[in-house]
Amino acid sequence: MARYTGPTCVLSRRYAKDLEFKTRDLESKCKIHTRPGQHGQARRRETNYGLQLNEKQALKFKYCLLERQFRNMYKAAAKSKAATGVLLLQMLESRLDNVVFRLGFAVTRNEARQLVTHKAILVNGKGVNIPSYQVKPGDKISIRERSREQVRIIDALKQAEDKGWADWVEVDAKGMTGEYKRVPDRDELPSDINEQLVVELYSK
In a domain, 152, yes or no: yes
The pLDDT assigned to 198 comes to 97
The helix (run of H) or strand (run of E) holding residue 171 is strand 169-172
CA 50 to CA 201: how far, in whole Å?
10
In a domain, 142, yes or no: yes
**Residues constituting the chain:** 204
In a domain, 2, yes or no: no
Contacts for 22 with CB less than 8 Å, ≥ 6 apart: 8, 9, 29, 30, 108
Q: What is the radius of gyration, based on Cα positions, of the chain?
A: 18
Count of the separate structural domains present in the chain: 2
Range of the domain at 193: 8-92+189-202
Helix (H, G, I), strand (E, B) or coil at 95: strand
Are residues 164 and 195 part of one domain?
no
Instruction: State phi, psi for 142 to the nearest 5 degrees.
Output: -145, 165
**Which amino acid does the sequence have at 106?**
A
pLDDT tens per residue, range 103-147: 999 999 999 999 999 999 999 999 999 999 999 999 999 999 999
Are residues 85 and 99 part of one domain?
no
- pLDDT exceeds 50 at position 26: no
CA 177 to CA 173: how far, in whole Å?
7
Are residues 158 and 140 part of one domain?
yes
Confidence of residue 31 (pLDDT cuts 50, 70, 90): low
Mean pLDDT of 1-17: 59
CA 193 to CA 199: how far, in whole Å?
12
Are residues 112 and 42 part of one domain?
no
DSSP 153-179: HHHHHHHHHHH---TTEEEETTTTEEE
Are residues 64 and 107 part of one domain?
no
Are residues 117 and 82 part of one domain?
no
The pLDDT assigned to 24 comes to 46
In a domain, 164, yes or no: yes
Are residues 83 and 114 part of one domain?
no
Are residues 55 and 12 part of one domain?
yes
In a domain, 1, yes or no: no
pLDDT tens per residue, range 64-105: 899 999 999 999 999 999 999 999 999 999 999 999 999 999
Q: Read off the CATH number of the domain in which 109 is found.
A: 3.10.290.10
The pLDDT assigned to 204 comes to 79
End-to-end CA distance of the chain: 28
Are residues 122 and 168 part of one domain?
yes
Are residues 75 and 128 part of one domain?
no
- pLDDT exceeds 70 at position 44: no
- Please tell me the pTM assigned to this model: 0.84
Instruction: State phi, psi for 178 to the nearest 5 degrees.
Output: -155, 165
- pLDDT exceeds 60 at position 54: yes
Are residues 34 and 102 part of one domain?
no
Quick one: angle between helices 151-163 and 109-117, nearest 10? 140
Are residues 55 and 119 part of one domain?
no
Q: Read off the CATH number of the domain in which 27 is found.
A: 1.10.1050.10
